[in-house]
Amino acid sequence: MGKMSRLGNQLYNGRRSIDFVGRRWLWYAITGAVVALAASAIVVKGLNFGIEFTGGTEFRVPISAPSQDDADRLRESVAGTDIAAADAPIVTTAGDAVLIQVEEMTVGETDTVSQALSEASGVAPDDITTSEIGASWGEEVAQRALLGVAVFLVLVLIFIALYFREWKMSVAAFVALAHDVTITIGIYALSGFQVTPSAVTGLLAILAFSLYDTVVVFDKVKENTHEMPKTRLSYADAANLAVNQTLVRSINTGIVALIPIGAILYVSAVQLGASSLQDLALSQFVGMAVGVYSSVILAPRVLVHLKSTETEVVLAAKRAKARERAKADRYASVPTFREDMPIAAAPPGLDAEMEQGEDGAGVPVATVPQKPFQAPPRLDKEPSGPGRGRTVPEARGPVERSGSAGRVQPSRKARSKRGKK
């Protein structure tokens, strides 16, 4: 068994434990600081919305089997026009053409960009298609995305409340989801990545991933806290045990999901420069990473906090503390000797004697009266025959010697002869 396997086994069995639930203010402080930083980035720096949301101009350059070199060359030619609206073009390949998206431009600026694209690609200016993208389509996408998120959250929270029969688990799961979404959007604001419909799609995907991990942890919490008096654990200890039992699974699932998404993010951002891929990969990469944190640390901690005032939970916590105190010092209830302790009278049947102390004072010492030693009877001097080695009970009726049994035993008479001599 490997080292990680042994660690997972020890965490599952409770022989080793990481205190995720007990350090309430530490995790709250870390989470609050990160969320506050993300919210500040959103408010101060703002989001860089793509042309699907703000509107812009799209150029289509027909090139047979376009390569990444063609896309890079066209991007450099557009950025070299020194037009403010075209300083960060989005270039993607689509079949037998290359698409270049920029912000809204005037007619003169559009002609300048078309001429630059023609010179860089060798395509005639008349073959380059120009189209305007309105912001109304992006607004409709944003509205439908928000509506989808709202419906998703409502249905999921209702499902969690019905499945676990605990509305507080729904609240804890909602807090974890809000945490994941806020941090993911804050990363977009800090990095300057454009918010496109692909990013919105990735955001919806991370909600499902984070919620799935949270439900797995909550299911283990429910299993461990189903009968708290029998498990002899408080609710916080049982929830912390559940987190430790699912910790290895959560980490493994997160790593397996993050490796391919990280590869997509690297290839799209560094090598290909494909905006749709990098927007999708960034939202999923960040969301899944913070989703593991929220499902392991934040959601169980919020759940324990919400249930800390329930009567059964409070009683279980008191019983657990009492057991911990008794386990720490099993002789805590035994009184210790002090010089000023009163001298108790000797119990009945004990004789009190005086013992000379070091200071010459007499100290009463209780002694047990000794009885003379009496040796047990020897077996070879005991009478032989029936009843040897045991105490024969007294007969409740007449006894007489039985010829068939060969010993004295109670006799049974007919009812008509009982009481007659």
What's the pLDDT at 115? 84
Mean predicted confidence (pLDDT) in 402-413: 71
| 123-127, 273-277, 390-394: segment of lowest average pLDDT | 273-277
Mean predicted confidence (pLDDT) in 15-34: 82
Q: What are phi and psi of 349, to 5 degrees?
A: 90, -5
Q: Is 163 exposed, middle or buried (0-12, 13-18, 19+ CB in 10 A)?
A: middle
Range list for CATH 1.20.1640.10 in the chain: 3-49+136-323
What's the pLDDT at 389? 54
Query: Is residue 37 scored above 60 in pLDDT?
Result: yes
Residues 6+ apart with CB under 8 A from 169: 160, 161, 218, 303
What's the pLDDT at 36? 92
What's the pLDDT at 119? 82
Task: Given CATH 1.20.1640.10, say whether it is the number of domain 3-49+136-323.
Answer: yes
How does pLDDT run across 211-227, given as a tens digit for each residue?
A: 888 888 888 888 888 77
Most confident of 134-148, 230-244, 293-307: 293-307
- With beta carbons less than 8 A apart as the criterion, state whether 188 and 47 touch: yes
Mean predicted confidence (pLDDT) in 342-362: 52
How far apart are alpha carbons 216 and 235 in whole angstroms?
17
Query: Is residue 290 scored above 70 in pLDDT?
Result: yes
Query: Is residue 2 scored above 70 in pLDDT?
Result: no
Query: Is residue 50 scored above 80 in pLDDT?
Result: no
Cβ neighbours around 81 below 10 Å, total: 19
How far apart are alpha carbons 188 and 282 in whole angstroms?
8
Mean pLDDT computed over every residue of the chain: 76
Q: What are phi and psi of 108, to 5 degrees?
A: -65, -40
Mean predicted confidence (pLDDT) in 28-45: 90
How does pLDDT run across 64-110, given as a tens digit for each residue?
A: 777 777 777 888 888 888 787 777 777 777 777 888 888 777 888 88
Range list for CATH 3.30.70.3400 in the chain: 56-133
Query: Is residue 412 scored above 80 in pLDDT?
Result: no
**Of 241 and 52, more confident:** 241
Mean predicted confidence (pLDDT) in 317-339: 67
Handedness of CA 393, 397, 398, 404 (dihedral sign): negative
How does pLDDT run across 356-399, given as a tens digit for each residue?
A: 444 445 445 445 555 565 656 555 555 555 555 566 667 676 77
| 378 Cα distance to chain centroid | 73
| 2-6, 293-297, 312-316, 367-371: segment of lowest average pLDDT | 367-371
Most confident of 137-141, 148-152, 177-181, 221-225: 177-181
Query: Is residue 341 scored above 70 in pLDDT?
Result: no
**Of 387 and 338, more confident:** 338
Query: Is residue 196 scored above 50 in pLDDT?
Result: yes
CATH number of 56-133: 3.30.70.3400
DSSP character at residue 63:
-
Cβ neighbours around 52 below 10 Å, total: 23
What's the pLDDT at 334? 57
Residues 6+ apart with CB under 8 A from 206: 180, 184, 283, 284, 286, 287, 288, 291
What's the pLDDT at 5? 63
- Per DSSP, the residues of 294-319 read IIIIIHHHHHHHHHTTSHHHHHHHHH
